[in-house]
């Protein structure tokens, strides 16, 4: 038995910031994600994909923006909750494929570290995690440098 899930997330970028969390990795950047939590757009999309594969609602239902306990919260907590629900329902990660869109700087040098971080957070083999990087091609909010976007597809396997 397998189940497929998809997650997408977008965060505005604040040029007053100096770092971006991506997949649990803190990257020095000339901006920061505007967010209630640490703004890790990739972990948000991944947690949403896992909740989606389980048909268990979305990240916002599990961790409401308005809840004070979620302010500044590490997004790895969100992923851990999604993974715990996945295991409780008898599933494990088969593989996941992620794309992060950021106009600049290029994320290519960080893809391996980000994928390794996600594999570690989920306790899966590195070969089960794909992280790809794209720009916004100068178009839309990502292309203008105003936002970062992540999209994740995940396959769950009944364990």
Q: Are 134 and 107 in contact (CB under 8 A)?
A: no
* 3 state SS of 9: strand
In the complex, least distance from residue 118 CB atom to Zn ion, rounded to whole angstroms: 15
What are the CA-CA distances from residue 68 to residues 1, 4, 71 (Å)? 38, 32, 5
Task: Give the whole-angstrom CA distance, residue 48 versus residue 139.
Answer: 25
Binding mask 74-113 for Zn ion (x = CB under 5 A): ----------------------------------------
- Using the rule CB under 5 A, is 9 a contact of Zn ion? yes
Residue closer to Zn ion by CB (options 21, 91) is: 21
Instruction: Determine the residue with CB nearest Zn ion.
Output: 44
Write out the residues near Zn ion by the rule CB under 5 A: 9, 44
């Amino acid at each position: 038995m397998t189940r497929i899930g998809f997650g997408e997330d977008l965060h505005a970028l604040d040029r007053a910031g100096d770092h971006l969390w991506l997949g649990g990795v803190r990257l020095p950047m000339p901006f920061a994600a505007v967010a209630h939590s640490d703004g890790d757009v990739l972990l948000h999309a991944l947690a949403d994909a896992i909740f989606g594969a389980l048909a268990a609602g979305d990240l916002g239902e599990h961790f409401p923006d308005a809840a004070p306990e979620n302010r500044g919260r590490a997004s790895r907590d969100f992923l851990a909750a999604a993974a715990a629900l996945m295991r409780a329902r008898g599933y494990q990660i088969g593989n996941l494929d992620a794309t992060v869109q950021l106009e600049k700087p290029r994320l290519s040098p960080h893809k391996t570290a980000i994928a390794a971080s996600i594999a570690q957070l989920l306790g899966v083999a590195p070969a089960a995690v794909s992280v790809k990087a794209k720009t916004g091609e100068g178009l839309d909010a990502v292309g203008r440098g105003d936002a970062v976007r992540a999209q994740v597809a995940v396959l769950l396997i009944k364990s």
